[in-house]
DNA sequence: AGCACGCCGACT
DNA sequence: GTCGGCGTGCTC
């Protein structure tokens, strides 16, 4: 029996495929982790060699040989493969697709992983003086020759391109045997000189650093719990320094691309070590370069977003994941992994520590602390002894509001501006108003292909659907009765911005949301303006709550907290509390504590009260008790099936079939909830439904899911839908 | 997912 | 007579 290659082929199929070694090759030289090209049905596909086996369950005559082995050395180590195999199993996602997503896009497509080279020009032949005599009549050649002998190591293309007729002159010299081209490995990003000194640590930071350092060289998970400004980043930097000194690599993950530049700046200023940045905003070539630099160990610090969690590491020493509560760590389509949970599993498999940082930890992580799985590290309130912000509820019941702003909030804004301090207003909705309604007949502008209202974008004179690509010109007359009394209903950032400009004509108002920051670099420009004091009032969405710090802001207004408290999503409370605390964290500085005003019509709401009286920790405790009583995560486990189709009845029928199969299984702890229409029952012309499976026993839930996946093909026959299955869902939409 | 094959309506 | 609609089945 010849050797059989077990290959994870890039295809949405849950099995591994068997192939024969490529014709005329020695299978003993092959190693798991190399990419291969294989025949797959009528086409060719890229796959990854997982294992070299002695036999196949299939008839060997039916096996085809691999067409090509793409890498001389494995790109993924046994550890990398183990992690991806685990993730593929845990999330029930096809192994070939999961593996493909671990590669930089160019490598996924089968492009070369060979080290990049540049062609440099080197001097050759008689020495400088002798050669000069040979080109007396060509001044350009003579000049280049002089340059060459000054740099006998070779001139890179960048310098040659800067010379008049550089390439031409160079080739002339090569023709005369006075120079030659040489392929040379491209330089990895050069190290920076003069690292910035480390900051002084306060006792809390010192203790946190010490606890993690004790754990280096083995697995341990830490929850680093510290409010904004408590100096979490300095803790990361200290830990990174120690790991680098021991020759290890450090992986640092953040939830959003926009958070990488500031962190990159701090790491680069501190460490001369080569650093790689990896996220989907980079060009394909840059991503490949960063990926290979980490894989080969040429870079020792990795800064990335969730897609970086699978990057191969040559000498892994530490994983840091900042803002661990952030839902962006969960992939929302395709391979729906949680980068936070994968990071913890990866640290476990690699036997290294992982540090999860947050000012507002997720209930999951707090639960893991209670269970003894994570160690809780607290940082004192604020580095430098700044006072925490003062929270106040503003009861707006019966108040006369100016575009949603109460007289009290407006007067406090005025006072703050009078002191030449900045104000931040948080409105969790972009656009002018979320609804356009006819005052005469009650007609509401709706999206033709979603169950959603069109949002008014006054500035651009458009109506937009925030759920599909649809947009149209803003209409002046009711589409139903023709009346011209159309009114905006509800509040968005644009409307608040306009109201403030009207009310405080002297103030400079900046709006920060996805619309105002769409252009590349515009967010940075706005942040710079705020930093430099060229802005008096900031109005924005949750973009304001993420990472950026505004030390000149002393008043934070949350225009409408009630919206976040009354959602059908059981996580809405947790998210609202995190958002409030994160936005509040932007306010105040060492010499002047910030003030946070929350406008509400329910000043007695238990969530709000506990958050304000006891802080986030107290709130989280109460919230966890409610979850425990209902068996919700983190006290129960969930798998969410989604289905959609242009045909209204299909998603429900498909999911009902699954629900029925689930009900027939022997799984006493399993709760089958649904199928029900999705919260957005129609989106982009597709009808959507979902089915939630829940169980306090993870193993039982996953067993059911596995069986149901086997039943999918039969259910799909005669009821075609687009479907997906989401393990540990964080969003139900 | 692609991409084949395969069996029924409106057209150069 | 075909071109092409998408239902069905397969990929080691």
Contact between A456 and A466 (Cβ < 8 Å): no
Task: Provide the sign of the torsion angle of the four alpha carbons A465, A466, A468, A470, taken in this order.
Answer: positive
Taking the C1' atom of every nucleotide in all shown strands and the CA of A40, the nearest one is: C11
| pLDDT in the model for residue A22 | 92
Is the domain of A366 the same as that of A410?
no
Taking the C1' atom of every nucleotide in all shown strands and the CA of A97, the nearest one is: B1
- Pick from A564, A389, A416: nearest CA to A500: A416
- Structural domain range at position A165: 117-185
Q: Is residue A144 part of a domain?
A: yes
Strand B atom within 7 Å of A643 CB: no
pLDDT exceeds cutoff 60 at A61: yes
| pLDDT in the model for residue A119 | 84
| pLDDT in the model for residue A590 | 64
Taking the C1' atom of every nucleotide in all shown strands and the CA of A63, the nearest one is: C12
DSSP for A245-276, please give it. Answer: HTT-EEEEE-S-GGGHHHHHHHHHHH--S-EE
The values of phi and psi at residue A111, to 5°, are -70, 165
Q: What is the mean pLDDT of chain A?
A: 89
Of the listed ranges A66-70, A163-167, A281-285, the least confidently predicted one is: A163-167
**Residue A10 CA to C2 C1' — how many Å?**
37
**Residue A686 CA to C2 C1' — how many Å?**
34
A719 is in an annotated binding site: no
CATH number at residue A66: 3.40.1440.60
**Sorting pLDDT into bands at 50, 70 and 90, what band is A188?**
low
**Residue A428 CA to C6 C1' — how many Å?**
43
Model pLDDT for residues A668-688, shown as the tens digit of each residue: 999 999 899 998 888 888 889
Strand C atom within 7 Å of A18 CB: yes
Overall average pLDDT of the A311-324 stretch: 97
The values of phi and psi at residue A522, to 5°, are -75, -30
Overall average pLDDT of the A19-40 stretch: 91
The values of phi and psi at residue A56, to 5°, are -125, 155
Taking the C1' atom of every nucleotide in all shown strands and the CA of A4, the nearest one is: C12
Q: Is residue A573 part of a domain?
A: yes
Strand C atom within 7 Å of A41 CB: yes
Is the domain of A227 the same as that of A372?
yes
Is the domain of A225 the same as that of A326?
yes
Model pLDDT for residues A227-251, shown as the tens digit of each residue: 877 889 999 999 999 999 999 999 9
Q: Is A247 left (phi over 0), alpha (psi -120 to 50) or beta?
A: left
Strand B atom within 7 Å of A12 CB: yes
Q: Which residue is nearest to nucleotide C7 (CA to C1')?
A: A718
Overall average pLDDT of the A66-88 stretch: 96
Q: Which is more confident, A368 or A550?
A: A368
Is the domain of A721 the same as that of A575?
no
**pTM greater than 0.85:** yes
Matching residue, tokens 């409610």: A626
Is the domain of A270 the same as that of A331?
yes
Model pLDDT for residues A129-160, shown as the tens digit of each residue: 666 666 777 778 877 788 888 887 787 777 77
Model pLDDT for residues A380-418, shown as the tens digit of each residue: 766 565 677 889 999 999 889 888 899 999 999 999 999
Q: Is residue A572 part of a domain?
A: yes
**Residue A45 CA to B2 C1' — how many Å?**
11
| pLDDT in the model for residue A180 | 86
**Residue A33 CA to B2 C1' — how many Å?**
25
Strand C atom within 7 Å of A56 CB: yes
pLDDT exceeds cutoff 80 at A165: no
A623 is in an annotated binding site: no
Q: Which residue is nearest to nucleotide C10 (CA to C1')?
A: A41
- Pick from A628, A672, A678: nearest CA to A652: A678
A450 is in an annotated binding site: yes
**Residue A259 CA to C3 C1' — how many Å?**
54
Overall average pLDDT of the A179-198 stretch: 70
Strand B atom within 7 Å of A397 CB: no
List strand B contacts in A 15-54 (CB < 7 A).
Answer: 41-43
Is the domain of A664 the same as that of A678?
yes
Taking the C1' atom of every nucleotide in all shown strands and the CA of A65, the nearest one is: C12
**Residue A481 CA to C3 C1' — how many Å?**
46
Overall average pLDDT of the A712-717 stretch: 84
**Residue A711 CA to C8 C1' — how many Å?**
17
Q: Which residue is nearest to nucleotide C8 (CA to C1')?
A: A717
| pLDDT in the model for residue A513 | 87
| pLDDT in the model for residue A586 | 81
Is the domain of A425 the same as that of A463?
no
**Sorting pLDDT into bands at 50, 70 and 90, what band is A647?**
confident
Out of A53, A85, A108, pick the residue that ends a domain: A108
Nucleotides of C under 7 A from a protein CB: 6-12
What is the Cα–Cα distance from A589 to A72, expressed in whole angstroms? Answer: 55
Model pLDDT for residues A249-306, shown as the tens digit of each residue: 999 999 999 899 989 999 999 998 899 999 999 999 999 999 999 999 999 999 999 9
**Sorting pLDDT into bands at 50, 70 and 90, what band is A585?**
confident
| pLDDT in the model for residue A525 | 85
Is the domain of A498 the same as that of A479?
no
| pLDDT in the model for residue A385 | 59
CATH number at residue A582: 3.40.50.300
Is the domain of A458 the same as that of A494?
no
Model pLDDT for residues A411-437, shown as the tens digit of each residue: 999 999 999 999 999 998 999 889 999
What is the Cα–Cα distance from A228 to A205, expressed in whole angstroms? Answer: 14
Is the domain of A704 the same as that of A617?
no
How many residues does this entry show for chain A? Answer: 733
Q: Is residue A345 part of a domain?
A: yes
| pLDDT in the model for residue A386 | 66
CATH number at residue A700: 3.30.70.600
Which residues are within 8 A (CB) of A56 and not within 5 positions of it... i.e. 6 or more apart? A4, A18, A63
| pLDDT in the model for residue A523 | 83
Taking the C1' atom of every nucleotide in all shown strands and the CA of A19, the nearest one is: C12
Q: Which is more confident, A100 or A42?
A: A100
Out of A598, A626, A654, pick the residue that ends a domain: A626
pLDDT exceeds cutoff 60 at A707: yes
| pLDDT in the model for residue A383 | 58
Q: Is residue A575 part of a domain?
A: yes
Is the domain of A241 the same as that of A224?
yes
Percentage, residues of chain A above pLDDT 90: 59
Q: Which residue is nearest to nucleotide B1 (CA to C1')?
A: A12
Taking the C1' atom of every nucleotide in all shown strands and the CA of A41, the nearest one is: C11
How far apart, in Å, are the Cα atoms of A150 and each of A129, A144, A432? Answer: 12, 10, 64
pLDDT exceeds cutoff 80 at A125: no
Indicate the number of domains in chain A: 6
Out of A63, A85, A108, pick the residue that ends a domain: A108
Q: Can you state the angle between helices A698-716 and A650-664, rounded to 10 degrees?
A: 130
**Residue A645 CA to C6 C1' — how many Å?**
14
Task: Provide the sign of the torsion angle of the four alpha carbons A602, A604, A607, A610, taken in this order.
Answer: positive
| pLDDT in the model for residue A521 | 80
Is the domain of A41 the same as that of A104?
yes
Strand C atom within 7 Å of A44 CB: no
What is the Cα–Cα distance from A593 to A555, expressed in whole angstroms? Answer: 9
Strand B atom within 7 Å of A11 CB: yes
Q: Is residue A594 part of a domain?
A: yes
Overall average pLDDT of the A195-222 stretch: 91
**Residue A446 CA to B11 C1' — how many Å?**
38
**Residue A109 CA to C12 C1' — how many Å?**
21
Taking the C1' atom of every nucleotide in all shown strands and the CA of A18, the nearest one is: C12
**Residue A31 CA to C5 C1' — how many Å?**
47
Q: Is residue A192 part of a domain?
A: no
**Residue A717 CA to C2 C1' — how many Å?**
29
Strand C atom within 7 Å of A717 CB: yes
Q: Is residue A632 part of a domain?
A: no
Q: Which residue is nearest to nucleotide C6 (CA to C1')?
A: A720
Taking the C1' atom of every nucleotide in all shown strands and the CA of A11, the nearest one is: B1
Strand C atom within 7 Å of A469 CB: no
Nucleotides of B under 7 A from a protein CB: 1-4
């Amino acid at each position: 029996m010849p050797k059989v290659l077990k290959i994870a082929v890039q295809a949405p199929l849950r099995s591994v495929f068997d192939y024969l070694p490529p014709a005329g090759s020695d299978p003993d030289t092959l190693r798991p982790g190399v990419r291969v090209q294989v025949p797959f049905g009528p086409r060719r596909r890229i796959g990854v060699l997982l294992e070299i086996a002695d036999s196949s369950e299939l008839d060997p005559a039916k096996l085809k040989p691999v067409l090509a082995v793409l890498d001389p050395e494995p790109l993924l180590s046994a550890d990398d493969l183990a992690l991806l195999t685990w993730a593929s199993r845990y999330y029930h996602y096809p192994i070939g697709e999961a593996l493909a997503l671990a590669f930089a896009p160019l490598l996924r497509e089968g492009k070369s992983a060979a080290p990049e080279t540049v062609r440099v020009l080197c001097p050759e032949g008689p020495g400088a003086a002798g050669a000069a005599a040979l080109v007396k009549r060509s001044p350009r050649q003579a000049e280049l020759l002089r340059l060459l002998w000054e740099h006998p190591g070779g001139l890179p293309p960048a310098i040659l391109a800067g010379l008049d007729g550089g390439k031409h002159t160079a080739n002339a010299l090569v023709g005369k045997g006075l120079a030659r081209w040489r392929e040379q490995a491209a330089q990895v990003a050069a190290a920076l000189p003069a690292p910035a000194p480390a900051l002084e640590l306060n006792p809390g930071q010192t203790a946190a650093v010490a606890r993690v350092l004790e754990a280096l060289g083995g697995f341990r998970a830490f929850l680093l719990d510290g409010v904004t400004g408590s100096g979490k980043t300095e803790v990361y930097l200290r830990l990174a320094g120690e790991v680098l000194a021991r020759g290890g690599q450090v992986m640092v993950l953040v939830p959003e691309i926009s958070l990488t530049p500031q962190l990159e700046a701090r790491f680069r200023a501190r460490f001369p070590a080569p650093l790689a940045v990896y996220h989907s905003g980079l060009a394909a070539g840059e991503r490949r370069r960063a990926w290979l630099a980490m894989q080969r160990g040429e870079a020792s610090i990795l800064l990335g977003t969730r897609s970086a969690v699978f990057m191969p590491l040559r000498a892994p020493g530490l994983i840091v994941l900042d803002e661990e509560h952030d839902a962006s760590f969960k992939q929302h389509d395709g391979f729906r992994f949680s980068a936070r949970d994968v990071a913890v599993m990866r640290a476990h498999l690699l036997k290294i520590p992982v540090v999860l940082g947050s000012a507002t930890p997720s209930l999951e992580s707090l639960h893991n602390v209670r269970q003894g799985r994570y160690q809780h590290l607290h940082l004192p309130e604020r580095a430098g002894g700044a006072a925490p912000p003062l929270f106040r509820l503003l009861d707006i019941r019966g108040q006369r509001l100016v575009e949603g702003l109460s007289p009290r909030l407006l007067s406090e804004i005025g006072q703050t501006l009078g002191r030449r301090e900045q104000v931040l207003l948080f409105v969790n909705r972009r656009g002018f108003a979320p609804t356009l309604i006819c005052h005469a007949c009650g007609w509401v502008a709706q999206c033709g292909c979603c169950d959603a209202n069109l949002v008014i974008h006054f500035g651009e004179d458009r109506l937009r659907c925030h759920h599909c690509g649809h947009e149209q010109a803003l209409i002046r007359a009711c589409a139903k009765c023709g009346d011209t009394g159309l009114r905006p209903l509800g509040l968005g950032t644009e409307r608040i911005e306009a109201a403030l400009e009207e009310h405080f004509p002297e103030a400079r108002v900046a709006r920060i949301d996805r619309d105002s920051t769409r252009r590349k670099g515009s967010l940075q420009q706005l942040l710079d303006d705020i930093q430099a004091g060229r802005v008096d009032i900031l109005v924005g969405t949750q973009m304001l709550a993420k990472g950026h710090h505004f030390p000149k802001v002393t008043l934070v207004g949350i225009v409408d907290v009630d919206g976040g408290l009354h959602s059908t999503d059981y996580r809405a409370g947790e998210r609202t509390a995190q958002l409030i605390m994160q936005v509040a964290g932007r306010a105040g500085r060492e010499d002047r504590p910030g003030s946070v005003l929350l406008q509400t019509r329910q000043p007695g709401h238990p969530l709000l009260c506990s958050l304000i009286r006891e802080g986030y920790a107290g709130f989280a405790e109460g919230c966890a008790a409610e979850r425990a009583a209902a068996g919700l995560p983190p006290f129960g486990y969930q798998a969410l099936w989604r289905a959609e189709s242009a045909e209204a009845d299909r998603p429900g029928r498909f999911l009902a079939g699954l629900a029925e199969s689930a009900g027939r299984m022997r799984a006493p702890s399993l709760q089958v909830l649904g199928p029900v229409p999705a919260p957005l029952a129609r989106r982009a012309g597709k009808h959507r439904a979902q089915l939630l499976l829940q169980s306090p026993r993870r193993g039982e839930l996953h067993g059911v899911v596995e069986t149901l996946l086997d039943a999918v093909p039969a259910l799909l026959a005669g009821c075609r839908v687009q479907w997906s299955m989401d393990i540990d869902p964080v969003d139900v939409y």
